[in-house]
Amino acid sequence: MTWLWSNLDLVAELMLVHLALSVPAIILSFVVSVPLGWLAHRYRWSRGVLLSLCGLLYAIPSLALFIALPAFTGLGLRSPVNLVIALTLYGIAVIVRTAADAFDAVDRDIRQSATAVGYSAAGRFWGSSSRSRVRSSCRGSGWSSSAP
């Protein structure tokens, strides 16, 4: 424990480096994976192809990927951009399947109910489930002014 206190500045610096490398990869993985998961859900013929390709991404050994990426990107072997790309690819491999399963888990009746109350396709995608959860949790807590 004394090592930690005596090297707190090093730990903080390395934590910032870690965050600078991992947060962009997580955000990029999410931004790419959710639309791919929606495609796999919406177009059944693409589901097998997309999920198989994403599974193959996860099967690539990380050391081989780190060695091969500079040939594709033209950047140096130790470039942080290569690390962010590799982490993004591994994130996509995991999140696409999860997103496709999550879209499949939304019951047809719930989608029809959202359409019946006037949500557009974009509104159903972005807003209906989160608003419903907030409303139902507020009703249970007594924060809502409307009757249940």
pLDDT digits (tens, 9 = 90+) for 115-133: 888 888 888 777 645 555 4
| Interhelix angle 44-59/80-105, nearest 10 degrees | 140
pLDDT digits (tens, 9 = 90+) for 51-64: 999 999 889 998 99
Under 8 Å between Cβ of 32 and 92? yes
Query: b/e per residue, 27-56, with b = 16+ CB within 10 A?
Result: ebbeebbbebbbbbbeeeeebeebbeebee
The per-residue pLDDT for 131 is 53
Name the pTM for this structure.
0.75
State what percent of residues in the chain have pLDDT above 90: 61
Please identify every stretch of the chain with a pLDDT value under 70, giving residue numbers as ranges. 127-148
Helices marked H in the chain — which ranges?
Answer: 2-6, 8-42, 44-59, 62-73, 80-105, 108-116, 121-123, 129-141
